[in-house]
Amino acid sequence: MQYKIPRGTYDILPQDSRQWHKVISVFRETAQSFGYEEIVTPVFEQADLFERSSGESSDIVRKEMYRFEDRKGRIFALRPEGTAPVVRSFVENHLDATARINRLYYIGPMFRYDRPQAGRYRQFYQYGVECIGSHHPYYDAEIIALQNTFLQRLGLKGITLEINSVGCATCTKDYEQALIRFYEPQKAELCPDCLERLNNKPRRLLDCKVPHCKTISAKAPVMLDFLDADCRSHFEQVQSYLKLMNISYTINPHIVRGLDYYTHTAFEFLNNSLGAQNAVSGGGRYNGLLKQIGGMDLPAVGIAGGFERLMLSLKQEQIMPADEFRPDVYLILMGKEAIRMGIPLMNRLRQTGLAVIFDPDKASLKAQLKAADGCKARFAVIIGADEVTSGKLSVKNLDSKEQISCSFDELFRILGSPSLP
């Protein structure tokens, strides 16, 4: 029997893993340059954490969560998103006592039982940043700027930013009444999920992906027309910071975000050439979340993005973030004496940080030189009977094909080793 990878998951094969790690390290560097520090939480949490934070009626909780019972009957879930775990950890570890503003980032796999398609997986990798502790509109803009800088550092050009304000609990009430008045006469045409949304969370009606519901929603009233003075002013200030930071955006009044905990600013970075799964990242302000999960009443704003959609975008724009891997040395040892001389040399080379490949199985010199070319090594270092006798090494530059004879110390200099061991 041949095993198959679970549906909706994928392997990162060696030929792709360098690009993958490069993108992650560009994200880390960007987050750190904005003063954000990494927080790492487990991949599973009490299921209730997500039920309470995302909302019982959210798609994530209703349809997509990997929920399971452990051997003692406790209900856990593989994390479907990263914000609730970060906030759980923040509250549990009293991080508010460590600083007035906590700037945090995370990277890791998330799990959603969703219908797999291009850019949508059941296990996917997210990066995210959360700024906890301030309601200042500058921070909404900072989170957007961090994402924008990350995309710039990767060299991506085809991604656009859309922003909206989803208001606060007070303005939402009037807005939801307006939504009910709008949808009620067209009830018969809505999908079963939307009918439920009409009763529970009218705002979610705008998030439906069913084409006919989308056509109806296009004409629905928009939150922006219902913002109170404070929410309007907050949104205007966010925009003025974005302008100061030279970040282009458009206002899309239909961005609602799928989760319950968003307030005020909501935003999405889109790559429209990705097709249906065009959201590269999205986020917003979530002032109510900490309190909602039993913590202190602190405002916060964050964003989460998927590495897969970034990798697809990079491929589309033909950007290769990482250099191809080239070993420094392919070591060829012909015979027992050569092994005695060459293995300690190999150790020294590796200790200085040089990449060395050695294959004791390969027999002929010709076959080994071919393998050295095949793995794109910079140099072949050859020790055979002559070298054992003379105590010198043969070094072949595999780009220029030039070959010389040299001492051990000269070899380190040729290789540009940072230090002679």
Residues within the interface to ligand AMP (CB under 6 A): 81, 112, 114, 119-121, 124, 126, 258, 279-282, 304-306, 308-309
Which pair of structure tokens corresponds to residue 37?
């520090």
Distance in Å, CB of 281 to ligand AMP, minimum: 5
Distance in Å, CB of 352 to ligand AMP, minimum: 40
Closest CB to ligand AMP among 51 and 328? 51
Distance in Å, CB of 338 to ligand AMP, minimum: 51
Closest CB to ligand AMP among 308 and 328? 308
Distance in Å, CB of 121 to ligand AMP, minimum: 4
Distance in Å, CB of 261 to ligand AMP, minimum: 11
* CA–CA dist 377, 325 (Å, integer): 9
Distance in Å, CB of 208 to ligand AMP, minimum: 15
Distance in Å, CB of 313 to ligand AMP, minimum: 10
For the beta carbon of residue 419, count every other beta carbon within 10 angstroms. 8
- Evaluate whether 414 touches 378 at the Cβ level (below 8 Å): no
The DSSP H or E segment spanning 319 is none
Closest CB to ligand AMP among 278 and 352? 278
Kindly report the CA angle at 244 between 241 and 245, in degrees rounded to 5? Answer: 90
Range list of H helices, 251-391 = 289-292, 307-316, 336-351, 365-374, 385-390
Kindly report the CA angle at 318 between 313 and 324, in degrees rounded to 5? Answer: 110
Closest CB to ligand AMP among 205 and 381? 205
Closest CB to ligand AMP among 124 and 183? 124
Distance in Å, CB of 89 to ligand AMP, minimum: 18
Closest CB to ligand AMP among 63 and 187? 63
Closest CB to ligand AMP among 167 and 306? 306
Q: Which residue is nearest to ligand AMP (CB)?
A: 306
Burial class from Cβ neighbours inside 10 Å (0-12, 13-18, 19+) for residue 86 reads: buried
Closest CB to ligand AMP among 257 and 378? 257
* CA–CA dist 389, 288 (Å, integer): 77
- What is the chain's percent helix, strand, coil content, to nearest 5? 45, 20, 35
Distance in Å, CB of 391 to ligand AMP, minimum: 57
- Evaluate whether 83 touches 289 at the Cβ level (below 8 Å): yes
Closest CB to ligand AMP among 133 and 305? 305
Closest CB to ligand AMP among 134 and 277? 277
Which pair of structure tokens corresponds to residue 328?
């420094």
Distance in Å, CB of 112 to ligand AMP, minimum: 5
Q: Which among 53, 31, 52, 47 is positioned nearest to 111, based on CA atoms?
A: 47
Q: Which among 279, 139, 310 is positioned nearest to 209, based on CA atoms?
A: 279
- C-alpha distance from residue 271 to each of 4, 233, 313 (Å): 31, 29, 7
- C-alpha distance from residue 213 to each of 61, 85, 180, 270, 295 (Å): 21, 32, 14, 22, 37
Closest CB to ligand AMP among 278 and 394? 278
Distance in Å, CB of 24 to ligand AMP, minimum: 14
Q: Distance of alpha carbon 390 from its chain centroid, rounded?
A: 54
**What residue type is assigned to position 107 of the chain?**
I
* CA–CA dist 27, 146 (Å, integer): 9
Q: Could you write out the DSSP letters of every residue in 368-405?
A: HHHHHHHTT-SEEEEE-HHHHHHT-EEEEETTT--EEE
